[in-house]
Chains A and B, each alone.
Chain A
Amino acid sequence: MSISVKNINKRFGDFVALDNVTLDFPGGELVALLGPSGCGKTTLLRIIAGLELADSGTVLLEGEDASSTHVRERQVGFVFQHYALFRHMTVFDNVAFGLRVKPRSQRPNEAVIRKKVHDLLALVQLDWLADRFPSQLSGGQRQRIALARALAVEPRVLLLDEPFGALDAQVRKELRRWLRRLHDELHITSIFVTHDQEEALEVADRVVLMNKGHVEQIGTPDEVYDAPATPFVYGFLGAVNLFHGRVDGEHVTLAGHAHRHDERLSNGAQVIAFARPHELDIVLDAPNVEGIAATVIRILNFGATSRIELAGDADSGAPAYVEVETSRVRVRELSLAEGSRVRLVPSQLKVFEQSPAATEGAAL
């Protein structure tokens, strides 16, 4: 089922949670709402579910205005960050709950319920836990039961609010892959909220990046990662280095280094430029070598790659902290060590003309 939200506004007192948000979620996709905490993503999800009321704007479920539809009639499945399992019921009763509270005329008989619950528990691979209580399960198991419970009523859409937020890293990775497989099996329209960019990029068909109540960018994981639309998106998706500079004809001058650009930038404009750690090449400092001057502070090795932390030369206007990722072989070739003087040459730069608003959101 498709979901659209149109011109949604929501305030909590003076705090603007959602500022005129309009979005379309086509049917059958798994979409991630990604953003830092307080960006309004959970509020948007709860408005779609009907647990929160927007100040203005409409929610369309399959083209129909759902504003006056009660939560229990919207046929949404909702998975909570802290599971919200009924603690006094067994796993079986938790999953059966949605079926047992149906009006008598629509309620399946107990045999049908039993079969359905066992099928769902088999789907989440926890059939053997049917008689346990939630408190006897691990976090990952609880979240899978919560998902089975949400699916029991055959919802038209599945909404997941930071479903893996309360789990430890190992379990989180496992459940991510599992959720993706489950979605490929069921193809139910799903929206999940997360603040973890890795999670969003790994699991979702499409990613909606949000910041301060606005939508910053919508796209496939590759699109948003490779072509970030705003400095905020660039900064939020992975580690970046930020440089300040100026447009000088066909070049952008950064900390004494001139970098050719082919974007439409007005001459003389102040710009900010981003380069990811792997987009900076290190060359040894020598006379006539172009690049941003810096000094190696620390070299950290992770398997075949090295992360090099550098201090830019303050005189040239380079940032105080730069991070470069390169192969360990390269580090050995250059015989880099702490204190080495080097030049950094960006192989790729994303340049944004500077406006006060643009720099504000850029996290580093």
Chain B
Amino acid sequence: MAGAAALYVHAAPRHYEDNPATRETPWIKWIIVGISLAFFALFLLLPLTVVFSEGLRKGWAAYFAALIDDDALSAIQLTLIAAAIAVPLNLVFGVAASWSIAKFDFRGKQVLTTLIDLPFSVSPVVSGLIYVLMFGAQGWFGPWLQAHDIKIIFAIPGIVLATIFVTFPFVARELIPLMQAQGKEEEEAAIVLGANGWQTFWHVTLPNIKWGLIYGVVLCNARAMGEFGAVSVVSGHIRGYTNTMPLHIEILYNEYKLSAAFAVASLLAMLALVTLVIKTWVEWNMTRQTSHGSVQDLPAVLSTRGAASGDK
């Protein structure tokens, strides 16, 4: 999924095709359209159909058997748990961070803004290793954790931590430019009118950032469920215990259980499709909201940074 998505489309000429002064010759148009379509079919559509057709190669019975296999179920469960913890935490963190960056001035603001991007710029394998070095048996806190019989690495907490780390910029990245563009005037107006902090947030700020927030959460969730690299390092691949869906798929694939691997993979692919549908719907709502007239209220063109998708 992903790539860059311009959420706020400014009054670009929509139908410059209709205008003879801007129209290109037909063959140029068809070549460009043709290249994009061929590329799309070869590299995106074909693999997607392969996932489903391979998954169903041995029939529906085998497909469902692969999904209700104990190890598969536990992998699905673990993936859902990790996402259910990571997404709400990053939602809260993202709103708090973007709120403080956009509405307050404080020392170290620039540093915070930069640090939020860290998980995007660090390889997921490195992110995983950081946690191993901190909490692993030979890590900084390893002896202490062992003495207290707390297991983080090669256990569920490690997977959750790695997932949080990797998905942590999505919500904040979405909201910071949006909130900065909206400024603080509406909040000031609310406070002068007697609203307290919570009322201001709930009635003024939140409705203004609603679509950006949903967008960020959707991307965050997709990445949380699809994350492979960081989770792979901290998980230890203990079947039925610390395997998430992407890890489970890898194991099945390495054991040449191709149709089972593709059956589970098709679940992830469906998740991606659902994400795309929600994402499109949110984008449609956001453009509708802006073209609804508030063009002069929202001066900046916000082109949201596409979420570099999981490495699976």
Contacts and interface: CB of A to CB of B under 8 A. Distances in A.
Interface of A: 49, 51, 71-73, 76-78, 80, 82, 84-89, 97-98, 101-102, 133-136, 146, 149-150, 152-153
A101 B196 contact: yes
Nearest to A72: B194
A77 B192 CA distance: 7
Given A84-B185, A87-B208, A97-B203, A135 B192 contact: no
A102 B189 contact: no
B3 interface: no
Interface in B203-250: 203-204, 207-208
A71 B187 CA distance: 12
16 contacts: A72-B191, A72-B192, A72-B195, A78-B189, A80-B185, A80-B188, A86-B186, A86-B203, A87-B186, A88-B208, A97-B190, A98-B194, A133-B293, A134-B294, A135-B293, A136-B293
Given A80-B189, A84-B185, A153 B293 contact: no
Contacts of A149: 189, 193
B176 to A, nearest CB: 19
Which bracket fits the contact residues of B?
20 to 34
A135 B290 CA distance: 9
A84 B194 contact: no
Contacts of A102: 194
A78 B188 contact: yes
A153 B185 contact: no
Contacts of B204: 86
B195 A135 contact: no
B11 to A, nearest CB: 14
Given A87-B297, A133-B292, A51 B188 contact: yes
Nearest to B192: A78
Nearest to A88: B207
**Leading 6 A-B pairs by shortest Cβ distance:** A135-B293, A98-B193, A84-B185, A101-B195, A84-B189, A88-B207
B104 to A, nearest CB: 14
Q: Is the interface of A mostly helix, strand, loop or mixed?
A: mixed
Given A78-B188, A80-B185, A135 B297 contact: yes
Contact of A51 (B192, B293, B297): B192
B128 to A, nearest CB: 41
Interface of B: 185-186, 188-196, 199, 203-204, 207-208, 292-294, 297
Nearest to A70: B191
A97 B193 contact: yes
B191 A71 contact: yes
Contacts of A86: 186, 189-190, 203-204, 207
Contacts of B208: 87-88
A86 B199 CA distance: 13
Contacts of A150: 192-193
Nearest to B208: A88
Given A51-B192, A78-B192, A153-B193, A84 B186 contact: yes
Contacts of B185: 80, 82, 84
Contacts of A89: 207
B192 A87 contact: no
Contact of B194 (A49, A82, A153): A153
Nearest to A79: B189
B190 A71 contact: no
Contact of A101 (B188, B199, B207): B199
A101 B193 contact: yes
B196 to A, nearest CB: 7
Given A73-B194, A135-B293, 16 more contacts: A72-B193, A72-B196, A80-B185, A80-B189, A84-B188, A85-B186, A86-B186, A86-B189, A87-B208, A97-B193, A98-B195, A101-B196, A101-B199, A133-B293, A135-B292, A146-B189
Nearest to A49: B192
Contacts of B292: 133, 135
A76 B189 CA distance: 11
Nearest to B204: A86
B201 to A, nearest CB: 12
A134 B294 CA distance: 8
A97 B194 CA distance: 9
B297 A76 contact: no
A71 B297 CA distance: 25
Nearest to B207: A88
A135 B186 CA distance: 14
A97 B202 CA distance: 13
B293 A71 contact: no
Contacts of B188: 51, 78, 80, 84
A208 to B, nearest CB: 22
A89 B293 CA distance: 13
Contacts of A97: 190, 193, 195, 203
Nearest to A106: B194
B94 to A, nearest CB: 20
A148 to B, nearest CB: 12
A69 B207 CA distance: 29
Contact of B192 (A76, A85, A133, A136): A76
Contacts of B195: 72, 97-98, 101
A106 to B, nearest CB: 9
From B194, B208, B297, name the one whose CB has the most chain A CB atoms within 10 angstroms.
Answer: B194
A101 B203 contact: yes
Contacts of B207: 86, 88-89
B152 to A, nearest CB: 43
A135 B294 contact: yes
B232 to A, nearest CB: 43
Nearest to B189: A84
Contacts of B194: 72-73, 98, 101-102, 153
